[in-house]
Structure 1
Amino acid sequence: MITVVASEGATPDRWRLVSRSATSADVLAAGPRRSLRQLSDGAGELRIVATVDGHFRWTLTAPDGGMIAESPAEYRDADRCRQAFIQAQHAARTVLGR
């Protein structure tokens, strides 16, 4: 099951896209509340960014440079990172009924 979980506390204007199974829950993406539809549309610039420890994260940014969504997890290679973005995009579409 895929759900959207609103953040609480210090960042109430953010969301997390969570995939739950009987044995685990994985955060697929996170971002400002207004951006879930943009993630589902892929509206923005996808960047695969190397971290200092040699892993990768994805970010989806608006034309003005503002953050639409980002991967909470880090991935061992760029291809897996891109696949994680596609999975998050598909999950956003599922949640929005598209």
Structure 2
Amino acid sequence: MMTFVKVSNHAIQRFRERENIELSDQEIEKEIISLINKATKLKKHPGGVQVWKANGRYFLTQKRNSETVVITYYGNKTLFKWHQKQRRKELAKACRTM
């Protein structure tokens, strides 16, 4: 279980869009924190960035000092895989232009 979890406004916005729900920011933040505290770490990236999964939902966090910040919410596995594919395309394009 993580302690000192913060949720970015971006993650709240993405959760609202991808879950298509009408909850207050505070309610969404509470839901995200509840999920992230039950999540399993899938991958660790440089800079303290980590990918987590809980109940079929994917999150990206970053360690900032003693806090864990949820920086975005991917949604389900299909959306998560799509985001990964897009990121690889961006990186490949950047490498070609070097």
TM-score after normalising by structure 2: 0.30
- Of Structure 1 and Structure 2, the greater strand share is in 1
Greater helix content: 2
Q: Which protein is bigger by CA-based radius of gyration? A: 2
